[in-house]
Structure 1
């Protein structure tokens, strides 16, 4: 029995379900809360986001401070800074526009689908298509850059 619970996939599924439940309880899966936040009418969701950022910052600090190891693989947890990418600003703007248009960010979409919100399926489809388009465009630009330099 305990071997099943120690399975990394089971642990990830349980943590994801808990995360989705907590987002739902906090109102992060409610379209109206997103709209009211973007209209500066109700800052409940912004408070949830700010709280999550503070908890995450504290958590990362503690993980670094105590050289924590992975639960499943026992390897040291590594925090490598990613280099700045040129399209980061445009990507962030597109992310914000998508969030504003759909009242859902990628983290809330699975929880919205689990709640039975049909609109989240279309948002999920847009997320998949956007990710696919990014991959294709990035590959094309990389090959174009290599072709022009040879």
Structure 2
């Protein structure tokens, strides 16, 4: 039953992503050229909602769907690692016109060229998994 609920939530999320133009290459292009606030507004709204929800989970000790405690582990502050990762992510986002979330939305919206991006995103993740132990922490 939970799988069906997750599936339905995913469908609703995908529709909202497409209707809000969060998956629009044109909107992403505008964002990277600093010509429009649209995509920054979507990202900023998601950030605010995420911060509020995390604080509510911590304050009220909300449990997961499985009844388990939700624990937030602090991340190590490794600036060069996140800096280079962010640059690579941003370049991929700018070149592909989509970040990982909207990639799957675009498949559902029948943009077959995004499949090339998905294949290489999966390949990049696989290569990272192979090299992870030798990369700087």
Task: Please indicate, yes or no, whether the TM-score normalized by the shorter chain is above 0.5.
Answer: yes
Which residue in 2 is equivalent to 1:4? none
1, 6, 11: which one aligns with 1:12: 6
- Superposition deviation, residue 82 in structure 1: 2.5
Runs of 4+ in 1 over 2 A off after TM superposition: 82-88
- Superposition deviation, residue 35 in structure 1: 0.5
Question: 1:98-148: per-residue Cα shift (whole Å, max 9, x none)?
Answer: 001111000111101100112211111111011011011124x28xxxxxx
**Larger relative contact order (C-alpha < 8 A, sep ≥ 6)?**
2
Distance 2:56 2:9 in 1: 19
1:24-63 paired onto structure 2 within 5 Å = 24-63=18-57
Distance 1:20 1:81 in 2: 30
Q: Which runs of 5+ in 1 are unaligned?
A: 1-6, 143-150
Max radius of gyration: which structure? Answer: 1
Which residue in 1 is equivalent to 2:87? 93
Alignment RMSD, CA only?
Answer: 1.5
Give 3-state SS (helix, strand or coil) of 1:108's partner. Answer: helix
Of 82-91 and 13-22, the range deviating more from structure 2 = 82-91
Q: Structure 1 residue 64 and structure 2 residue 58: aligned?
A: yes
Which residue in 2 is equivalent to 1:146? none
Distance 2:130 2:99 in 1: 22
Distance 2:123 2:54 in 1: 31
Question: 1:69-105: per-residue Cα shift (whole Å, max 9, x none)?
Answer: 112x111111112323563221111001000111100
| Matched positions, count | 134
Which residue in 2 is equivalent to 1:132? 126
The two structures have a TM-score, normalised by structure 2, of 0.90
Which residue in 1 is equivalent to 2:101? 107
The two structures have a TM-score, normalised by structure 1, of 0.83
